[in-house]
């Protein structure tokens, strides 16, 4: 098996951290680097958290880059400490990382790596799309070098930061619009899918029973992380958003999807960041996104638990 070359762009974040651990445990993936962006928490924390998670997993060889500290046009940074904790990893304390932060900017790493690659590279985006959008604007020649972008973002039915918008898209809707109109091979995993992947107490217990530092850390993160969503949505636990992206790369058979035309609302103050999905082709526009509809949540948690072990 030839591992699939992959760049992960993220804003750790509890669910980003678990997505990284799932990716680290998957020999099908060759992780070329991790780029970080401001999102769940400011950039100073997201880049530090990425390095902490790499050290926790013993993955010190993966280079980590800091990218954009704010959205393309919005002057106020939207963050989610109320979900992820003040520094992004809930209440747990991991040692200060010894892995160095790379000096190169995350956007420049994306461009240089893609242009130099002998074959197209997959990009997994787990946070706001600022880094990728800036890279596409700065160097359009990277487009044919991108095999696929699998992104966690968007809300087809109900938003989580406004009635119609999901956090990653709302934080930088203009970046999302750039990415969706760039002519890329895109797969979108929205809240409508991730809200099917609930970390119930039974599923968290199975992870805790792994009995090692990884399992206990993930179980603790999930227990703390669940409180917000249980209160807001009445779920039995937290939905695991970002690990669904990595699971899709590993086991697309766990998901169903259909091609649609998708666009992002960037003009309306009331609907800023809304993900507009043309399910039935009524707009008559060419499809541009593979929109995931469902997930086999039992299969997803079985995969996650087995890999964390």
Q: Give 144-170 pLDDT, tens digit per residue.
A: 999 999 999 999 999 999 999 999 999
**Backbone phi, then psi, for 77, in 5-degree steps?**
-80, 125
Residue 285: per-residue pLDDT: 97
Check whether 180 has a pLDDT greater than 80. yes
Mean pLDDT (the chain) is: 96
Percentage of the chain beyond pLDDT 90 is 91
Q: How many residues does the chain have?
A: 309
Check whether 13 has a pLDDT greater than 80. yes
Mean pLDDT of 195-222: 94
Residue 306: per-residue pLDDT: 97
**Greater pLDDT, 286 or 229:** 286
Cβ–Cβ < 8 Å for 263, 287: no
Burial class (CB in 10 A: 0-12, 13-18, 19+), 212: exposed
Distances (CA, A) of 163 to 158, 159, 171, 175: 6, 5, 14, 20
Query: What band does 232 get if pLDDT is binned at 50, 70 and 90?
Result: confident
Residue 255: per-residue pLDDT: 98
Distances (CA, A) of 260 to 136, 143, 198, 277, 309: 22, 20, 26, 7, 37
Cβ–Cβ < 8 Å for 203, 237: yes
Check whether 75 has a pLDDT greater than 90. no
Check whether 248 has a pLDDT greater than 80. yes
Check whether 231 has a pLDDT greater than 90. no
Task: For 284-301, write each residue's pLDDT tens digit.
Answer: 999 999 999 999 999 999
Cβ–Cβ < 8 Å for 186, 288: yes
Check whether 37 has a pLDDT greater than 80. yes
Distances (CA, A) of 46 to 50, 99, 123, 165, 308: 6, 14, 18, 22, 22
Global pTM reads 0.97
Structure tokens at 180: 């969706």
Query: What band does 1 get if pLDDT is binned at 50, 70 and 90?
Result: confident
Query: What band does 225 get if pLDDT is binned at 50, 70 and 90?
Result: confident
Contacts of 41 (CB under 8 A, 6+ apart): 11, 13, 49, 79, 80, 81, 84, 86, 87, 88
**Greater pLDDT, 225 or 280:** 280
Mean pLDDT of 31-38: 98
Buried b (16+ CB within 10 A) or exposed e, 277-290: bbeeeeeeeeebbb
Query: What band does 208 get if pLDDT is binned at 50, 70 and 90?
Result: very high
Cα 278 to its chain centre, rounded Å, is 23
Task: For 103-155, write each residue's pLDDT tens digit.
Answer: 999 999 999 999 999 999 999 999 999 999 999 999 999 999 999 999 999 99
Contacts of 20 (CB under 8 A, 6+ apart): 8, 10, 12, 34, 50, 53, 54, 57
Residue 43: per-residue pLDDT: 98
Task: For 41-71, write each residue's pLDDT tens digit.
Answer: 999 999 999 999 999 999 999 999 999 999 9
Which residues are catalytic, by number?
A: 241
Residue 38: per-residue pLDDT: 98
Query: What band does 226 get if pLDDT is binned at 50, 70 and 90?
Result: confident
Mean pLDDT of 221-248: 90
């Amino acid at each position: 098996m030839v591992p699939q070359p992959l760049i992960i762009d993220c804003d750790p974040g509890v669910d980003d951290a678990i997505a990284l651990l799932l990716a680290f445990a998957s020999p099908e993936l060759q992780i070329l680097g991790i780029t970080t962006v401001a999102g769940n928490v400011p950039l100073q924390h997201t880049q530090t958290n990425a390095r902490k998670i790499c050290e926790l997993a013993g993955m010190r060889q993966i280079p980590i880059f800091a990218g954009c500290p704010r959205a393309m046009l919005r002057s106020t940074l939207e963050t989610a400490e109320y979900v992820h904790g003040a520094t992004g990893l809930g209440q747990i304390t991991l040692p200060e990382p010894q892995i160095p932060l790379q000096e190169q900017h995350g956007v420049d790493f994306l461009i240089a790596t893609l242009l130099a690659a002998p074959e197209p590279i997959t990009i997994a985006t787990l946070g706001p799309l600022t880094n990728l959008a800036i890279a596409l604007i700065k160097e359009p020649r990277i487009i044919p070098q991108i095999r696929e972008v699998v992104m966690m973002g968007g809300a087809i039915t109900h938003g989580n930061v406004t009635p119609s918008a999901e956090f990653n898209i709302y934080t930088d809707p203009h970046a999302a619009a750039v990415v969706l109109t760039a002519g890329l091979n895109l797969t979108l995993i929205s809240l409508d899918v991730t809200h099917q992947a609930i970390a119930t107490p039974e599923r968290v217990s199975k992870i805790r029973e792994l009995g090692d530092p990884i399992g206990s850390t993930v179980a603790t993160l999930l227990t703390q992380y669940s409180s917000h969503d249980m209160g807001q949505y009445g779920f039995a636990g937290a939905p695991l958003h970002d690990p669904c992206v990595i699971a899709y790369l590993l086991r697309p058979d766990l998901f169903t999807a259909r091609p649609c035309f998708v666009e992002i609302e960037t003009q309306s103050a009331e609907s800023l960041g809304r993900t507009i999905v043309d399910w039935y082709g009524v707009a008559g526009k060419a499809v541009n996104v593979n929109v995931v509809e469902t997930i086999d949540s039992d299969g997803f948690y079985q995969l996650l638990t087995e890999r964390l072990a």
